[in-house]
Structure 1
Amino acid sequence: METPKLYEAEEIPLEEKIMTAKIFDISGAGWTWYVVEAEEKDGDVVFFGYVKGFEEEWGYLKKVEFNGIPAIERDLHWTKKKFNEIDKI
């Protein structure tokens, strides 16, 4: 499944949104980002999704923001899941 562009999944209820990619911090800091939408804008990529870290929240993130985090990887074995299927603990 291709990741929808920004706002294409806007009408889907949060619990039903499809997480098409998982990006995580391998340093052990405990940050994980689940991507629902993504689109190239102004030479960067803007993501919308769910983040688990010190807090858990929905929001937007630019790819450039990952540049300051030295140990970021995309989970290449990730299979798409609905939000209500991911571990939120």
Structure 2
Amino acid sequence: MQELIPKELAAAVPPLYATEDEAEPIARVKLFSCFNGWTWLVTEYDPESGEAYGLVKGFEEEWGYFSIREMEEVNRSKGFNVIERDFCFEPKPVSEAR
């Protein structure tokens, strides 16, 4: 199974709450599911807890916290990548990544 945010990538993502005062945070990682059309733009991440923060585009578009560990567990339980990382994604302001 694909590791959604490997250690070398996690090192480039600011910790939780680090960008809360930024008017235009940078999306560092893009995750997506081709099964439900959801997208997660990660702006902050805590590798110890597996918690991330960013823009979630699902039924609605909203900012929030989500668990990378839970996403990886879904992938393991299904036996394939339900949620994947966009390997071609380059960090950019969230307004451009939308």
TM-score of the superposed pair, with normalisation by structure 2: 0.75
- How far did residue 64 of structure 1 move? 2.8
Alignment of 1:8-87 (within 5 A): 8-13=18-23, 16-27=24-35, 29-41=36-48, 44-66=49-71, 67-68=73-74, 70=78, 71-87=82-98
C-alpha distance in 1, partners of 2:86/2:68?
16
Structure number having the greater helix percentage: 2
C-alpha distance in 1, partners of 2:55/2:70?
15
C-alpha distance in 2, partners of 1:84/1:72?
22
- How far did residue 10 of structure 1 move? 1.4
How much is the aligned-residue C-alpha RMSD, in angstroms? 1.7
Percent identity between matched residues is: 39
Equivalent pairs counted in the alignment come to 82
Query: Structure 2 stretches of 5 or more lacking a match?
Result: 1-10
TM-score of the superposed pair, with normalisation by structure 1: 0.82
Structure number having the greater strand percentage: 1
